[in-house]
Amino acid sequence: MKFFFLEGACIMGKLGNYLVILFISGFMLHESDAFSKWVLELGDNFADLHTDGGYWLVKFYTPWCGYCKRMEPIWGHVVQTLKNTHIRIGRIDCSTFPNIAQKFGITKYPTIKIIKGDEQHTFQGDKDTEQIVNFALRMSGPAVEHITRPESLTNIKNMNQLFFMYVGERQGALWNTFNDVANKMQAHAFYYSTSANIAKKHIYLNDTPAVFVHKENSQYFYTVGEGNEIEEVHHLNASMHKWMNEERFETFMKITEGNIEEVLQTNKYIVLVVVEENKLQEIPKEMLEFRNMVESVIRKDRDKYHSSFQFGWTSNLELANSFAMETISLPYLMVLNSTTLHHHIPEDEPLVMTVEAIELFLERVYNQTAPVYGGNDFAVRLYRAYFRAKTTLVDRYRGNPVLTIVLLGLPTSFLSFILYSCICSDILDAEEEDEDLHEKRE
Ligand SMILES: *[C@@H]1O[C@H](CO)[C@@H](O)[C@H](O)[C@H]1NC(C)=O
Ligand SMILES: *[C@@H]1O[C@H](CO)[C@@H](O)[C@H](O)[C@H]1NC(C)=O
Ligand SMILES: *[C@@H]1O[C@H](CO)[C@@H](O)[C@H](O)[C@H]1NC(C)=O
């Protein structure tokens, strides 16, 4: 049965290719020709190739998916950036090679994975050049990179990228825990270690060993909470996990469809400002002012909010609508409860709110006296599923209108034809009679 299905999928895939080439002359397929000499077109041969001991960055795609096509220029930049590294780059057309897609558990397109032997990691997050490149670089090196020269630390700081750092001798409980957690969370952030001497050239250090996060030109240190002696190692592990999870996003981040799932994993309240943004990333003045005002709340009182609130903003209206479950007007302010997916909205219009009003609103959310909307119950999940399905369908349509209509249209028209001929034969007759009458009158 399974075999039959795969054969079917394979044939369907080839038919799909054929249709694409036929109807849109295949020009989109060749968009990335400029980079193709660095990208290997892989197929079933990859089943053997990937065990050769090196790192592979592989894009699993199909010719008919809209996201895959829109990603082409980004993928081109990724290839360009990584071409002189030790990472090899390839792509696999899953409609032609369904076996290999199944072997790597591909369920959606495009999927980007870094693969080394039996080890594989799927890229999650926004498919932009910087994030994919960072992911590939992170996953193809050691979990914790050791810094031995002061200049290297300068370079890392200049990258303007959030990172975690361990300072001190690479031994003892704190180092072991840092190393363990870094290995588990390697896909999410950069981890470094260095000596106290090098670190002291850059930052003010009290005591070593120490662990800090560097973001937006500031350092925030990890402090070990109180622990029961017997369970000390476990306690350290849990508390560092928790701390890194809390700290791994920027103070006021842009929230997108690519990162929302991860942001929800922080288990914090998500303070979300929704604004309009055009293709040039311009935001209307009054919305920008509102956004800046909300940002100022967390900037000036980080200690008070950051352990329970993650602040951010978005211009993805559909994403915001799917949480608000209504069509919202902009600018908009909502606070999402990341565990229950309930949300809170202020009573006042955002544009008339002051910093004090926002602070009061957040306090009421925190002490659970603010009104609660939505949630994660059945109706809400159904709505979100509908929202996802709609987005996927629209995307597929944009990617290839003809194929979508053929795929969706054929079964539909076949069904309507059957219904039409079975149930509506009376009406058909009636219409013919009508026409007869007509002719007679004329
Ligand atoms: C460390 O903590 C994390 C999360 O709390 C947990 O998933 C992991 O199993 C723990 N590891 C050890 C060695 O206790
Ligand atoms: C979300 O709601 C639950 C249930 O009301 C509550 O226990 C929790 O503290 C809230 N906040 C977050 C950030 O999960
Ligand atoms: C919750 O916070 C609001 C705003 O600070 C305050 O007025 C209210 O008394 C608090 N309620 C409780 C039960 O603490």
What does 275-298 look like in DSSP terms, one character per residue? ----TT----HHHHHHHHHHHHHH
Ligand 1 contact, 184 CB (< 6 A): no
Nearest residue (CA) to ligand 1, atom 14:
234
CATH class of domain segment(s) 145-247: alpha beta
Helix (H) or strand (E) holding 98: helix 98-103
Q: Which residue has the higher pLDDT, 414 or 212?
A: 212
CATH superfamily, domain at 31-139? Glutaredoxin (3.40.30.10)
Say how many Å lie between the CA of residue 357 and the centre of ligand 3.
Answer: 13
- Where along the chain do its domains lie? 31-139, 145-247, 252-392, 401-441
pLDDT on residue 240: 93
pLDDT on residue 127: 84
pTM for this entry? 0.74
Say how many Å lie between the CA of residue 268 and the centre of ligand 1.
Answer: 20
Q: Are strands 309-314 and 218-221 parallel, antiparallel or unpaired?
A: unpaired
Tell me the ligand closest to 179's alpha carbon: 1
Q: How far apart (Å, rounded) are the C-alpha atoms in residues 8 and 355?
A: 60
pLDDT on residue 12: 38
Q: Do domains 145-247 and 252-392 have the same CATH topology?
A: yes
Nearest residue (CA) to ligand 2, atom 14:
339
Q: Which residue has the higher pLDDT, 167 or 37?
A: 167
Q: How far apart (Å, rounded) are the C-alpha atoms in residues 48 and 44?
A: 8
pLDDT on residue 222: 93
pLDDT band at residue 25 using 50, 70 and 90 as cut-offs: very low
Residue 1 pLDDT more than 70? no
Average pLDDT, the chain: 80
Q: How far apart (Å, rounded) are the C-alpha atoms in residues 322 and 319?
A: 5
CATH class of domain segment(s) 252-392: alpha beta
Mean pLDDT of 139-164: 91
Q: Which residue has the higher pLDDT, 377 or 355?
A: 355
